[in-house]
Chain A
Amino acid sequence: MTTMPVRRRRWRNTAVGWSFLLPNFAGFVILTLVPVGLLFYYAFTEWDVFGGATWTGLDNFRQMARDTSFWTALTNTFYYSVFHIPLTLGLSLALALLLNRKLRGVAFFRTVAFFPYITSIVAIAQIWNMLLSPGFGPVNEVLRWIGVANPPGWTTSADWSMPAVILVGTWRDMGYYMLLFLAGLQTIPAQLHEAARVDGANAWQRFRAVTLPGLRPTTFFVTVLITINSFKVFDVILVMTDGGPGQSTLVLSQYIFQKGFEENQFGYASAVSIVLFAICFLVTIIQFVVNKRGSDR
């Protein structure tokens, strides 16, 4: 063993560590951290990209308070999230439990469940739009066949467009979260289940007393991810309904895109982004607090 001075060795370790971090960190700083930092400045200005931004103080936020479209977008975002979060959470957990057993071709079924997540969102939207097409779509054909006289208009109806988008969003996302749950399920020691069984616990009791507590860290992680992704939902809606009909599926991130990139009001768009950021931030903090309390018990 060479006799390298401790200080020098420590410096060397730090340098090695930094060199591993640097490629990703540099990209993160240039492409994410700096723009996000600038966002907090632009939110208080009026800026159309060309020339400098004019400081307008809280004007953007005052305008937002009066902006009915903003409130519509905010309400729709909550509408989407309130249904999308529990649905995706429940279904992905159910799928994971189903596919965590030893059954024939389990790898195949896992792949099938994961497939929507890696499929191009444009293709997904196109196919679902056709399936849900009010006039000739197979979904409504089936509904008519089983006796529904007036099946919903889905993405072409102001009342049904949001449920349609939630349905597709859930279908697309559940495979991914299923994978996380599957990984979580593998970490629960089999002996615990064994012991519970010996004690006479039935399937439901074992699920409540062993599986759920064992999954706690995974469930927390998945919930945080789904929540943030639900509030940020953009692509599914943009390609499926483009916010329509009317403003029935307009969500915050799409509103930001519209104001910024279509109407060149980057100051106002930044201000709306901050609201979205604040919502995600707040909800995540609440989840952390709740989780902490739960695990301290």
Chain B
Amino acid sequence: MKRSLAALTALLLAVSGCSGDGDGSEESGPITLTLAGWSLATTPEFKTLADGFKTSHPDITVELKEYDAANYDTQMIADLAAGKAPDVYVQKNLKNFYTYQNGKQLVDVSDVAGKLGPKVGGLNFYQVEGKTYAIPYRQDSWVLYYNKALFDKAGVKHPDGSWTWVEYAAAAKQLTAGLKAKGDKALGAYQHTWQSTAQSFALAQTAGANLDSGDFGYLKPYYETALDLQIAGAQVSLGDATTNSLTYQAQFGKQQAAMMTMGTWYIATLLNQQAKGDADAFEWGIAPAPQLTKATTGTSATPVTFADPTGLGINPKSSARKIAAAKEFLAYAASADAAKALAGIGVTPADNSSVADTIFSLKGAPGDDLSKFTFTSHDTKPENPVSKYTAPLQNILKDMHTEILSGATPIDAAITKAQDRAKAEVLSK
């Protein structure tokens, strides 16, 4: 009996893992940082950053820790709460930044931010009360992808950067009709199922629009355009897109639609899929996203669009020495060197002032001037403005999105309902 009890105790000790987290924090010598990433096999940017950093800092090794892409924030929040998170972790978007920052899970990195050049996009989104809590290494922007071959087939003029949503809608209808006349079943436009395809453009482009105000009237024109195109048959309806699990990659890449708004991350995917044959081979280009008013159109103006930056933050539970090393890593990630390395794999770096040539020299990339202009000039607003209310408000607006585009409720009534819910459930707290 005694023997078995001893064995049981030993087993329990082994199971409960009585191993202290030996940091071995010596004052000098090589150091290893851990960095969170997702889908490492298909998302090479983390390894690119780690390898690039190693060449200039041979003493610091950055090890990757993989997370599930779809549940990244849930898993990260659990790991942080349990004290098991890596030293450096990625802010995948801005929706949960408030949770991390307000929960004191991010080291103040204002000193790193202070040394960065003015060209690093998205930095100010991470500032709270004058302090910076994360450093962006990547800043995508939403643009308009268009299929040059389908435009030519339908006899519609290519986008020239002067479009508002009115011209966009007109072109979508012309394209649909023109393609139909030629016996092509492709539609003029594809609007993906995400709420951002309507709401974030509206929030970015409408003067005075503010999520936290609880006044969502600014969304109306964007839903009018979307509903109009759905009813006219110039784009697939939301219901058909969700029930058939349509992917935007197939809709544009397989030439089911002549144009589509999407983030610049799709450039790398499209190039890759065309090279592998997962997407058809056709000539394409990018143009600035359609604008609300003429004031921001044309290549002499700066088009307004949206996207969240992707940034790096430091886990405050790391040792002081690791935090110092991590700050060097953050500074590198936002540097021009890292920007070149990221552009080499098709990623849009936070500092994209000098990388357009790198991206557009990739095989299969468009070579026209408008595409280059689109890539480098934009006033990119956040998709999720940082606030305590962002996550719950976005959930309410997601319900409104499906309610309107399924035709269940007229636009005005749905907006009023969302406003009432926002006031009662979120803003009054």
Select one of A69, A126, A137 contacting B245, CB under 8 A: A126
**B236, closest chain A residue (CB):** A135
A263–B403 CB distance below 8 A: no
- Interface check A153, CB cutoff 8 A: yes
Residues from chain B with a CB closer than 8 A to the CB of A51 are 103-104
B74–A133 CB distance below 8 A: no
How far does the alpha carbon of A245 sit from the alpha carbon of B238 in the complex, in Å?
Answer: 10
How far does the alpha carbon of A134 sit from the alpha carbon of B99 in the complex, in Å?
Answer: 39
Residues from chain B with a CB closer than 8 A to the CB of A69 are 421, 425
Select one of B78, B103, B243, B424 contacting A155, CB under 8 A: B243
Interface extent on A, as a size class?
Answer: 35 or more
**A240, closest chain B residue (CB):** B243
Residues from chain A with a CB closer than 8 A to the CB of B392 are 263, 265
A-B contact count (CB 8 A): 104
A245–B244 CB distance below 8 A: no
Residues 170-222 (chain B) with a chain A CB within 8 angstroms: none
Residues 117-138 (chain A) with a chain B CB within 8 angstroms: 126, 129-130, 132-137
A129–B243 CB distance below 8 A: yes
How far does the alpha carbon of A114 sit from the alpha carbon of B91 in the complex, in Å?
Answer: 44
Instruction: State how many angstroms separate the Cβ of A243 from the closest Cβ of chain B.
Output: 7
A158–B243 CB distance below 8 A: no
- Interface check A264, CB cutoff 8 A: yes
Residues 389-413 (chain B) with a chain A CB within 8 angstroms: 391-392, 395, 399-400, 402-403, 406-409
Interface residues of B, count at CB 8 A: 35
B238–A156 CB distance below 8 A: yes
Select one of A48, A156, A244 contacting B399, CB under 8 A: A244
How far does the alpha carbon of A248 sit from the alpha carbon of B414 in the complex, in Å?
Answer: 13
How far does the alpha carbon of A284 sit from the alpha carbon of B237 in the complex, in Å?
Answer: 43
Given A69-B425, A245-B402, A248-B408, the answer on whether A258 and B395 have CB atoms closer than 8 Å is yes
Residues from chain A with a CB closer than 8 A to the CB of B81 are 49-50
- Interface check A191, CB cutoff 8 A: no
Residues 7-54 (chain A) with a chain B CB within 8 angstroms: 48-51
Given A157-B406, A264-B99, the answer on whether A67 and B425 have CB atoms closer than 8 Å is yes
Select one of B74, B77, B240, B402 contacting A246, CB under 8 A: B402
Residues from chain B with a CB closer than 8 A to the CB of A156 are 237-240, 242-243, 406
Residues from chain A with a CB closer than 8 A to the CB of B395 are 258, 262-263
6 contacts between A and B (CB under 8 A): A48-B102, A135-B237, A158-B408, A245-B406, A246-B408, A263-B392
A-B contact sample (10 more), CB < 8 A, given A133-B240, A246-B402: A48-B102, A48-B103, A50-B81, A50-B105, A68-B425, A69-B425, A130-B244, A156-B242, A157-B408, A247-B399
